[in-house]
Amino acid sequence: MFVLKIRRVGNSAAVTLPKEALTRLHVREGDQIVLSEDTHGFRLTPYDETFVDALKAFEETRRQYRNAFRELSK
């Protein structure tokens, strides 16, 4: 577990990730990461264009097929 501090950077806010977190995420300075939300909270993952495209497609169809997804999850 890492406890991080939010800092002001101009009109934005920033969080600095410890070196160990960067190593475990397999990212380095300049790489892109994705912050997504699931039923367990927020998830931080390395940017993967294929994954991001799939997530966008799911978000676009989630409401339309929510009953089917609910049945499939049983």
CB neighbour class for 25 (10 Å; exposed up to 12, middle 13-18, buried from 19): middle
Q: What is the pLDDT of residue 57?
A: 87
User: 6-72 adopts what CATH topology?
Assistant: Pemi-like Protein 1; Chain: D (2.10.260)
For the question of whether the overall pTM of this predicted structure is more than 0.75, the answer is no
Q: What is the pLDDT of residue 74?
A: 85
CB 56 within 8 A of CB 34: no
Q: pLDDT tens string for the chain (74 positions)?
A: 889 999 999 999 999 999 999 999 999 999 999 898 988 999 999 998 888 788 888 888 888 888 888 888 88
Q: What is the pLDDT of residue 19?
A: 95
- The C-alpha R_g of the chain, in whole angstroms, comes to 16
CB 31 within 8 A of CB 45: no
Q: Which two tokens stand for residue 49?
A: 């264009």
